[in-house]
Structure 1
């Protein structure tokens, strides 16, 4: 998955490890990278959750390894799809991601139903957060200038 860089070259979407405070490795963060000008850009829909994840770690975090997919549903789905279809074209990945997002939303709605039946407020809030991470994602908004 690609998009145009400010320098005019192509940025590729990659899953990167973000190192915070030289102690915490946050794995599988979706990042656009330009090999030409060496610039990086976190995929916009996951940026707020990455910021929140880092803020929860604090200024003096303990050494640890964090999977960003556990913090963000979209990052988790991108990781799954990129592993399953490493050679997919942008159009194929768009289709696969739409299918995966739809399937995950349906699963989360089922989970929400069980959470409501169980009257588990924490479970409901967590499921709502996870649904919100997926419900606003529109492929073209983030890959519209793909090369």
Structure 2
């Protein structure tokens, strides 16, 4: 299986772009990457049962999806090992950035900013490459 970014169509009206999925070329099946599933479900639930026609960039909902998008755009022909190295580095860099942002948000006392930054950190903090990719490639 290969990691790809796909567009998920919901209710024939909403296109949720850049969702990381595993794609099997042999059986033509797709599986959403496990760590992003909860945020995809939340995104869909917020849209409601009869949403308006729209495009949604999933990277705005999920920090890990945003990093995958950045890395796959930057190095589309990377080997599995290169992608693993890139993602591990990118996750560390993003966590450091978000920790800096969190510190500033806390100093400013902005509760909404603190909550948003903590949510974004949570989306990255538990990600372990081997746990999600060792059986997929």
Q: CA RMSD in A?
A: 0.7
In structure 1, C-alpha distance between the alignment counterparts of 2:61 and 2:127, rounded to whole Å = 16
Choose from 65, 68, 72 the match for 2:58. 68
Q: How many residues align?
A: 137
Partner of 2:9: 19
Regions of 4+ moved over 2 Å:
none
Matched, 1:89 2:82: no
Structure 2 runs not aligned, ≥5 long: none
* Cα deviation 1:90-127 (Å, max 9, x = unaligned): 11111110110000000000000110011000000000
* Cα deviation 1:25-82 (Å, max 9, x = unaligned): 0000001111211111000000000000000000010111000000000000000000
Q: How does 1:124-143 map to 2 (within 5 A)?
A: 124-143=114-133
Q: TM-score, normalised by structure 2?
A: 0.98
Structure 1 runs not aligned, ≥5 long: 1-10
Choose from 80, 99, 105 the match for 1:109. 99
Partner of 1:120: 110
